[in-house]
Amino acid sequence: MHHEPLTTAEVDAFLAKHDGWRLEGGALVRTYEAPTFLRGIAFVEHVAKLCDTADHHPDIDIRWRKVTLRFVTHDAGNRVTALDSRLASECDVIFAGYGKLT
């Protein structure tokens, strides 16, 4: 499946509307801090189900209560696409049920 990369202006617009997300190494990246380790793991499981359904899998780094997500589309030349920004936005909504956003 091929996705078109977002323009710099589109990525900047996403970042302006979504606190906590940053562009790092060409990917959308955000670190969440859950109130407990198990709440963080539950959040990761929810994200995994969402992303598996979309057949688009972020890099996920878990360090105690901190969960870092990294979204980029490999078949778009390792650039950010609308699918990345949509899933990133949905992860913020999901996390609201698991703990505070950081």
Q: What is the mean pLDDT of residues 72-101?
A: 91
Domain membership of residue 75 as a residue range = 8-95
> Is there a domain that residue 2 lies in?
no
The H-or-E segment that residue 6 falls in is none
Residue 71 has pLDDT above 60, yes or no: yes
Kindly report the pTM of this predicted structure: 0.93
pLDDT in tens, 2-55: 689 999 999 999 999 999 999 999 999 999 999 999 999 999 999 999 999 999
pLDDT at residue 62 in the model: 98
Phi-psi region of 23 (alpha: psi -120 to 50; beta: other; left: phi over 0): beta
CATH number for the domain harbouring residue 85: 3.30.1360.20
Both ends of the chain: CA-CA distance in Å? 33
At 98 the pLDDT is: 77
For the chain, what is the domain count? 1
pLDDT at residue 3 in the model: 86
